[in-house]
Structure 1
Amino acid sequence: MADVLFVLDPLSLINPRADTSYVMITEALRRGHQPHYVTLDGLSLSGSVAWARARRLGPASDEPLAPMVDRGEPNARPLSSFAVVFMRKDPPVDPSFIAATWILDRAGTLVLNNPGGLRDLNEKLSMLEFPQLIPDTRLLRSIPDLRAALDDMGGKMIVKPLLGYGGREILQAKRGDPNLSTVLEIATADETRWTVAQQFIPEASAGDKRILLIEGEPIGAVLRVPASGELRDNFHAGGQGVATELTEREWYICSIVGPWLRDRGQLFVGLDVIGPYLTEINVTSPTGMQEINRLNELEGDATMQAKFWDAVDARLSH
């Protein structure tokens, strides 16, 4: 049995029916590990030593989907006293998140995902490493530049904030739309904020596919279909999950991107694919495990969280 630490949002925000962190914790318990947790305000550095005011945690009862609760008073411990630390704090990647990764750099133990990668691999820009796999994608903040990009992209594109997450503030820009100026002003916060402009992909109406990778290899996928009349298909925005399989193109994308991510210490990653295109690489607290489990009726050692822990235990044994 090993003590393991999860860096989380407050426990009240963890949804037992949807959150991937929830099943990561329950699987740790199933395997005999002792999970603890800390929120960002419980992390610190004392000299070069990283510390956490950690609490044991677990489900409130033996009932299925019981909420996660504290199992004791906080205990100040060096991060090196844990076998592994999981950075599962949800975005935004803001100054507090970045500071936490600097603390995790000094953990003195295994940290997943690697904190340097969490800082460097922006979820909307890291895919630019693979121009052959992605739609036309640009980072802009000038409204005239965005109008020029719209023309280059055939009069229709998606704009989204560089540091956005969970489907928030995703907008569609269309040539001839009387609200176009307003859309671009909102997207750039009046030209004060970097904005990702991305070619509109017609296949988006059928949904986007979240593909989960562990150690660079795909382990499962779910198709996220937008609600009627909705542009966004993220689960946080009301998207519905549909069982799916990987296409030949998606296997190819994984074969190119997966090893690159593994080499950068990113054990658990979510790729987003629309039609033939890779559209995002999610390294900060990816989700989707529970939806894939339910849609494919996976149990026990066949679940996404079991495959995740197989990889973690393999690393620990080495």
Structure 2
Amino acid sequence: MKIAFLADPLSGFKIYKDSTFAMMREAARRGHAIYAFEQRDMALDDGVVSADVAEITLTGDPDDWYAVVKQASTRLSEFDAVIERKDPPFDMEYVYGTQLLQLAEMQGARVFNKPSAIRDHNEKLSIAQFSNFTAPTLVSSSAERLRAFHALHRDVIFKPLDGMGGAGIFRIKDDGMNLGSVIETLTELGARTIMAQKYIPAIVHGDKRILVIDGQPVPFALARIPQAGEVRGNLAAGGVGRAQPLSTRDREIAEALGPVLAARGLLLVGLDVIGDFLTEVNVTSPTCFQEITDQTGFDVAAMFIDALERQVLHQVPET
């Protein structure tokens, strides 16, 4: 297969932990041709979506890990698969990128995850579709509503709807210290909608990332454990990742959501679970492949490429 990865600059990859690199390495090991491009490389010209795409080989050198074979403007429909792996922020540029990819789909490209599905699944708001698995949650820009939610639950997490890596997350305890300031800052004085969730004490045991591939859960989660008094377990915020088998509740959540999300065109999803509660549904560029594989021996990248091959080589119908 010819597989094109839409990603951030390759020069910035930390290949010892990068999930996109793990995908590339496994695909190359199987003999697939690997290509890469950035969102800024895409163009719509005379109705056709193309990109300045680099064909690359993997060198095996950790310091200089790839080499460009050739680079050319190529219609995205010429690839067997286009893998959307651009990291957030999920801003309007990101949205424009998904719209270009959707146009490319109309011209025959096969894009994973499906661009319209990425747009339709805000990583925070999507949990509302599965409220039987969530802690008490409020989404609002109203200071009055947000204050009332805190008054009811007494210990609350506030966070933006477009954040990543734990950025902008605040915990307000029973004393309400800085409640007004946090609400004013996150909502920009009522101009932006945010999320409030009842604090889940089980965060001390980790914010679990459960990967679901083609509707099936990876059997191990990565519990990202907060450090040094932090409330955030995100690896980008200093959390320490510890792989562990899925609990009964983890598997219940993953097996309930997996087929639903796969049917919507989401080949790869990262569910975030704290204790027994679903907190996020990550669809842009879920990570933690290498951490799980390194600690357990379970080859997540192989499971992903297996699923990709089934979708492309066996032409699984999309719904």
TM-score by length of 1: 0.94
8 Å Cα contact 2:56-2:70 kept in structure 1: no
8 Å Cα contact 1:37-1:57 kept in structure 2: yes
Deviation of 1:190 (Å): 2.4
Is structure 2 residue 292 aligned with structure 1 residue 308? no
Indicate the SS of the match to 2:83.
strand
Q: What residue is the counterpart of 2:102 in the other structure?
A: 105
CA pair 87-68 structure 1, distance change in 2 beyond 3 A: farther
**Amino acid across the alignment from 1:40:** Q
Is structure 2 residue 14 aligned with structure 1 residue 25? no
Residues of 1 paired with 2:311 and 2:103: CA distance?
Answer: 19
Deviation of 1:212 (Å): 0.6
Q: What residue is the counterpart of 2:317 in the other structure?
A: none
CA pair 18-92 structure 1, distance change in 2 beyond 3 A: same
TM-score by length of 2: 0.93
Residues of 1 paired with 2:80 and 2:102: CA distance?
Answer: 15
Indicate the SS of the match to 1:146.
helix
Deviation of 1:209 (Å): 0.9
Q: What residue is the counterpart of 1:90 in the other structure?
A: 87
CA pair 160-305 structure 1, distance change in 2 beyond 3 A: same
Q: What residue is the counterpart of 1:62 in the other structure?
A: 60
Is structure 2 residue 318 aligned with structure 1 residue 317? no
Percent identity over the alignment is 38
8 Å Cα contact 1:25-1:58 kept in structure 2: no
Residues of 1 paired with 2:274 and 2:67: CA distance?
Answer: 40
Correspondence 1:1-318 to 2 at 5 A: 2-59=1-58, 61-63=59-61, 65-107=62-104, 108-153=108-153, 155-219=154-218, 220-296=220-296, 298=297, 302-318=298-314
The one-character-per-residue Cα deviations of 1:115-166 (angstroms, maximum 9, x if unpaired) are 011100110011111111111111111222210111122x111011011111
8 Å Cα contact 1:26-1:58 kept in structure 2: no
Deviation of 1:279 (Å): 0.6
The one-character-per-residue Cα deviations of 1:7-34 (angstroms, maximum 9, x if unpaired) are 0111122111121011111111111111
Indicate the SS of the match to 2:53.
strand
8 Å Cα contact 1:171-1:187 kept in structure 2: no
The one-character-per-residue Cα deviations of 1:262-318 (angstroms, maximum 9, x if unpaired) are 11000111101111111110000000101101111x2xxx51101100111111221
Residues of 1 paired with 2:132 and 2:300: CA distance?
Answer: 29
8 Å Cα contact 1:16-1:66 kept in structure 2: no
8 Å Cα contact 2:57-2:69 kept in structure 1: no
Structure 2 residue runs of 5 or longer lacking an equivalent are 315-319
How many aligned positions are there? 310
Residues of 2 paired with 1:188 and 1:67: CA distance?
Answer: 43
Residues of 2 paired with 1:56 and 1:121: CA distance?
Answer: 31
